[in-house]
Structure 1
Amino acid sequence: MKKRLILCGFGNVGRTFGRMIEDRREMVRMKYGLDLEIAAVVDIGGAAVAKEGALPLDRLLRHVENGGPVESLEGFGFPGISGQEVLSTLNAEVLVETTPTNLKDGEPGRRHITAALNSGLDVVSANKGPLVLYFRQLMDLASEKGRRIMMSAATAAALPSLDVGLLCLAGARVLAIEGILNGTTNFILTRMRKEGCSYEAALREAQKMGIAETDPSLDVEGYDTRNKLVLIANRIFDKNFGTADVAVSGICGISGEDIERAGSLGKVLKLVGSAEFEENELKLRVEPRALDPDHPLSSIDFSEKGISYLTDTMGRVTVTGGKSSPVGAAAALLKDLIHLSILR
């Protein structure tokens, strides 16, 4: 089965995804009967488009890594063309959306996803912005058009947070979800606990290692965890939560004394995103929690992540791992593409 892809966004994740498609093309074809080809790559200045067949990805990657813009690839470049125009006119089956997350208005990802659905394409997205801000509108449009939106790469990337809840727990009622969904904050709290260093020192180390951004506010203030939690809760519980529905408290105010106090009680401090029922109402929270040592999330350290589902018939099911990286995000995109084809 051939799938022509339109890739919007060619930053770290987009380029890593392109390399992964090239490297694993034969394995995916042999194992899943799926022939993936990238028909177009859209970036900020235009696009490279193969009207028939596939783009020469090796050549495009070398071109971009040598400083050339996507839209100047000889024989395939279209300067100034928009993502919507490519999505509306090119014959393809799936949009792979990897443009930068924009939590102000969700653009340009929202325009790309809307154009793709209206043109009969399925969507695989690593971009949280449009999904967090316009979840119900986009999911309803997908349903109306008979298309699907896959978002593993937007919900903790390599950690199969949605797969567990949607597939592995099918038939069970989910009673609660708890997750360590941000590797940066988990790294900082782990270093503070294990090495006795201050929050500031642990943050500097995370930045030096490339784990934390120069501006770490999205992570340390709890907003990245909040955004992932909104998407997970909406998909698992079929809700329409927005960012304003989540009570958020980050780790900026955590001191060494807080870590020691939790330790003296035999507990471990973690930043946890949770969806739990209180008097039959589902409540979403992001907050530092002192976890008992037998809690399945308490032993997850450094930049690893984890999610734990409590159910009525399958008990508690927990999955851990999935360090954040462009490779992990690209792998989640590839996984969703495969699932689109084999899970109808």
Structure 2
Amino acid sequence: MEKRIIITGYGVVAKEFCKLLLSHSQSIKSMYGFYPKVTGIIGRKGMLYEAEGISLDELTSYGIGSDALTHYAEEKNIFLIPPKWNGDVLVECTPTNIETGEPGLSYMLNAIEAGMAIVSASKGAFVHSFKRIKEAARKKGVSMKFSGATAAALPTMDIGGYSLAGATITRIEGILNGTTNFILTTMTENNLSFDEALKIAQLKGIAERNPSLDVKGYDSACKILLLTNGLFETSFSLNDVQIEGIEHITKEKINEAQEKNERIKLLASVILKNEHLSLEVRPRTIQPSNPLYYVNGTNKGIVFETEEMDTICVTGGASHPRGAAAAVLKDVINLYRREL
């Protein structure tokens, strides 16, 4: 059984996803009962489409972006065409835009209307229009998965949705952004200011040139928002999250915490109390009794508190494009895997 994949956006995550398919497709067929085949990739200049499947070996040798798609098309003597939605699943990898959700939002809605399932590595459309996308998917009877958008390789949605199925989750608390955790760890271990640690993160390629989404807490807020809406069947917006970033954390505050054997971490949380959910992102001082105390560098971690299963914690998860791509592949597999 083949499953036709259409990818929107061909940046580093999409390319890593294609590389994983190139190396894993045969094992996916033997282990999970279906063969994933990329038949289309949509970029800014049009759609690269081959009904029999795009040669991922050749495509992944051309770099990223629309230029890579154009190069491939020229080598194959084919043309880029307007988008068409005749696949089984859309893998959405366009850049995150929390202001409008575009272009991912329109891509998703068009794919859903055509009866395609959705797997997304991008947060923007879900942050902007979660309720709209969810209602459209339910109306058409298609599935949507977005674990790659909620902390890349860290299996947040999987634990909350599958491992804790039937349990009453009363609190979720996590370090969901590797960039800010690296900055705080660097400040702590090297007695540096925020600006000094940020510069190191940028030189290492961990922080963006404009790090606002990370350091001001918005990336973490987007992730806890998606986790909450996905696991609690809610429709909160970003305006419902109280957000405070780390840009005002000083060397002195770090030292004060160290003197008490504590550490400052940027924590994203949702708390269920009296049947009311509250969402927040803010720097907090935590003690060694908290498992997130030991999550350092670019690593991430999440803690689930439940009434029936007590406390569950998972840490780690690669904070790089390959890790995000692997989360996307996992979602595709979980859509179609045969039951053992």
Aligned length: 337
Deviation at 1:145, TM superposition (A): 0.7
1:235 paired residue among 230, 252, 258? 230
Shift of 1:60: 2.0
Q: CA separation in 2, counterparts of 1:68 and 1:193?
A: 42
Identical-pair percentage: 39
Q: Secondary structure at the match of 1:134?
A: helix
Partner of residue 165, structure 1: 160
1:106 matched to 2:101: yes
Aligned to 2:242: 247
Please provide the CA RMSD for this pair. 1.6
- Kept after mapping to 1: 8 A contact 2:178/2:300: yes
**Rounded Cα–Cα distance in structure 1 between residues aligned with 2:64 and 2:287:** 48
* Residues 29-75 of structure 1: CA deviation (Å, up to 9, x unaligned): 12112201100111111121013x21112222224469944145144
Letter in 1 for 2:145: M
Secondary structure class of the residue paired with 1:99: coil
Question: Residue 147 of structure 1: CA displacement?
Answer: 0.4
1:143 has 2:142 as partner: no
* 2:191 match: 196
- Write the letter of the residue equivalent to 1:281: H
Structure 2 partner of 1:58 = 57
Q: 1:108 to 1:161 in 2, by over 3 A?
A: same
1:3 paired with 2:3, answer yes
Residue 280 (structure 1) aligned with residue 281 (structure 2): no
- Residue of structure 1 in register with 2:299 after alignment: 304
Q: 1:286 to 1:128 in 2, by over 3 A?
A: same
- Give distance in 2, aligned partners of 1:138 and 1:341: 21
Equivalent position amino acid for 2:243 in 1: V
Q: Which residue of 1 aligns with 2:24?
A: 24
Taking structure 2 as the reference length, the TM-score comes to 0.95
8 Å contact kept, 1:49–1:76: no
Whether 1:48 aligns to 2:48 is yes
2: CA distance between counterparts of 1:212 and 1:255? 18
Distance across 2 between alignment mates of 1:165 and 1:222: 22
Gaps of 5+ in 1: none
**2:139, 2:209 → 1: CA distance?**
41
Taking structure 1 as the reference length, the TM-score comes to 0.94
- Structure 2 distance, partners of 1:290, 1:64, is 43
Which whole-Å deviations, capped at 9, do the CAs of 1:219-256 have from their partners, x for residues lacking one? Answer: 00000000011000111111111010000000000011
Q: Secondary structure at the match of 2:224?
A: helix
Distance 1:210 1:67 in 2: 23
Q: CA separation in 1, counterparts of 2:57 and 2:274?
A: 56
1:133 is matched with which residue: 105, 128, 132? Answer: 128
Given residue 224 of structure 2, which amino acid in structure 1 is its aligned partner? L
